Amino acid sequence: MPLNYDLHINFMNILGIESTCDETGIALVKDGKQILSNVVASSVNLHKKYGGVVPEVAAREQVKVIIPVLKETIAQADVSVEEIDAIACAYGPGLIGSLLVGVETAKTLAVVWNKPLIPVNHLIGHIYANWLEGTTDYRLRTTAVDSRQSTVDFPAVALIVSGGHTDLVLMTGHGKFRFLGGTRDDAAGEAFDKVARILDLPYPGGPEIEKLAKNYKLPRPERSRYSLSSLHERTDTPELGSMYSLSRIHPRPKSPRYSASEYNFKQNKFTLPKPMTSGDNFDFSFSGIKTAVFNLSKKFSLSFQDKTEIAYKFQDAVCEVLVKKTHKSASKYHVKSIVVGGGVAANSELRSRMSDPAKNGKLNVFFPEKELSIDNGAMIAVCAYYLSKKVPPLFLKADPSLHF
Ligand code: KG4
Ligand code: ZN
C-alpha cells in the first residue's frame, strides 16, 4: 500500500512497534527525538543453531513476548495510556508471520485506546533513527543531546544496510525519496551472516566478523595505507562523550603490535574481489565475495589466522564498496549530508571509513547509536513523527515485500 505522507501532523508521544524479523521492539518517543523508553526482545539465540533466522520460530516468539515488551515499555516511560498520542508500527518489509504480530497488535491498541495508527516502512525507519537523540555526526564528532540535536541538512543520501536490504536513496526533504540503487543479490548484512557461517562463526555474523577481523595483523605496506595516526587524531574529543569514542573502536597501540621478524609473511595469502566499485550505477553485489570465501574454505583447511585474514578482507571489501558508492552518489547529487542506518551501520570500520574527512570533504555523516542501528521500536516512532500518515486501523495490512 503506497503511502502519501501528511507532513507536519506531529504527535508528541508516539508508541513505535517493530516486529519485522527476530526482534520485538517497542518504544515511546517524545517530540520525534527523545526516547522515553525503548525495549527490545530478540529471539536471536533460538536461531543460532540454524545459522540464520527461522521464520516460524521468530513469529512464535513475537507472539510470546509482544505483550510483556509493551508493558515494560509503558512502565519504563512512566506515562499513562492517555498521554500516548499515536501508535506507529512497521508494516513491511519483513517476515509475514513476525510482521502480523506487530501489525495486529498495533491495530488492536489503536482501536481499543482510540488512538491514530501510523504505518511505517521499516527501511525508512532505519533512516529516521538518525533523528533520534544519540545520533552522532561523525565528521563534527558531536553527539546530539537535547538542544544540541544534530540536524541532517537536505539534500542527503541515505544508505540502508541491513540483513535484508542494501539501498542507496536520495532524500531531498522529509518524505521525499528517490531510489538510486540497491543490491542485485545478497544484502550486505546477509553476506556478513553467510560468510560467518562459512567461517564457523555464530549468527548474527556481522558482529562476529568484526570481532575476528580485529585479530588480523596487516602486513606492513597495507597497514600504513590505513594511517592509524589519522584515526587516532580524531579521538577523545570532549563533545564525543562516551558514546562513540573512536579510541575505543581503534585503541591506540602502546607500541607497534609486531616487529618485522615476528610477522608471518605467508599470512597474507587471500585476495577477495571488490565488486561493482567502478561503473556509473549505484547498485551493489555481494554474492561474489561470499562465493570467493566459500571457494577458499573448500580449497584450504583454514587456520584461525587464515580466518582472521578472510574476516578482515571481507569486511574491508564490503566497506570499500559501500563507502565508494555512497560518496560517489553524494558528490553526483551535491548533497549536504550522508545518513546511514540498518544493522550493518553498527560496524565500526564502516563508521570510520564513511566519515573519513579526506574522502567526503565537508559532508556531515550521521550514524545512529549502535543499539539504534539494529531493529528497534524507537526508529519506527521517530519516523512516524516526521512522516505521519494516519490510516483507519482495520484497513492496515502487513506487506512483507514493501519497498521504497
Ligand atoms: O537492521 P537489522 O537489525 O535487521 C534487518 O532489518 O535485517 O540488521 C541485521 C543485520 C544482520 O545481518 C547482522 O549480521 C548485521 O545487521 N550486523 C552487522 C553488525 N551488527 C549487526 N554487520 C556488520 N557489523 C556489525 N557490527
Ligand atoms: Zn532492519
Tell me, in angstroms, the distance from the centre of ligand 2 to residue 338's CA.
18
Residue 85 identity (one-letter amino acid): D
Q: How many CB atoms lie within 10 A of CB 404?
A: 14
What is the position in ligand 1's atom list of the atom closest to the CA of 373?
Answer: 1
State the pLDDT at residue 74. Answer: 96
Residue 391 DSSP code: B
Divide the 404 residues of the chain into consecutive groups of 10 and give the mean pLDDT of each group.
59 94 96 93 89 92 97 94 97 98 98 96 97 68 48 94 96 96 96 96 96 84 41 30 27 38 52 81 94 92 93 96 95 95 97 83 88 96 91 92 90
* The three cell numbers locating residue 203: 549468527
Whether ligand 1 lies within 6 angstroms of the CB of 52 is answered as: no
25 CB near ligand 1 (under 6 Å): no
| Helix extents (H) in 162-259 | 188-198, 205-213, 220-225, 228-233, 246-249
**Cα separations in angstroms, 97 against 73, 90, 171, 244, 399:** 22, 13, 31, 35, 11
The residue contributing the CA closest to ligand 1 atom 2 is 343
| Integer angstrom CA distances of residue 190 from 2, 45, 53, 271, 318 | 26, 17, 11, 21, 12
Evaluate: CB of 204 within 6 angstroms of ligand 1: yes
CA distance 38 to 378: 6
Residue whose C-alpha cell reads 550493518 in the numeric block: 344
Which protein residue's CA is at the shortest distance from atom 7 of ligand 1?
163
146 DSSP assignment: G
Q: Give the number of other Cβ atoms within 10 Å of residue 10's Cβ.
A: 14
Q: Which residue lies with its CA nearest to atom 8 of ligand 1?
A: 343
Say if ligand 1 is within 6 A of residue 21 CB: yes
pLDDT of residue 49: 82
Is 51's C-beta closer than 6 angstroms to any atom of ligand 1?
A: no
pLDDT for residue 229: 33
Please give the backbone phi and psi of residue 169, each rounded to the nearest 5 degrees, phi first: -135, 135
Q: Is 207 in the pocket of ligand 1 (CB under 6 A)?
A: yes
**C-alpha 27 to ligand 2 mean position (Å):** 15
Number of C-beta neighbours around residue 159 at 10 A: 29
Q: What span, in angstroms and rounded, lies between the C-alpha atoms of 89 and 374? A: 16
Query: What's the pLDDT score for residue 260?
Result: 35
Residue closest via CA to ligand 1's atom 14 equals 206
Ligand 2 centroid, distance to 176 Cα (angstroms): 20
Please state, in angstroms and rounded to a whole number, the distance separating the CA atoms of residues 162 and 318.
Answer: 13
150/130 Cα distance (integer angstroms): 9
CB of residue 163 inside a 6 A radius of ligand 1:
yes
Contact 132, 379 (CB under 8 A): yes
Beta carbon of 102 within 6 Å of any ligand 1 atom: no
Q: Coil, strand or helix: which one is 340?
A: strand
Return all residues near 76 (Cβ < 8 A) that are at least 6 apart: 36, 37, 39
The answer to whether 189 touches 287, Cβ cutoff 8 Å, is no
Distance CA 22, CA 127 (A): 19
pLDDT of residue 270: 83
What is the pLDDT, as a whole number, of residue 314? Answer: 96
Lookup: cell for 140: 563534527
Q: Does 344 contact ligand 1 (Cβ within 6 A)? A: yes
Q: How far apart are CA 150 and CA 134, in angstroms?
A: 9
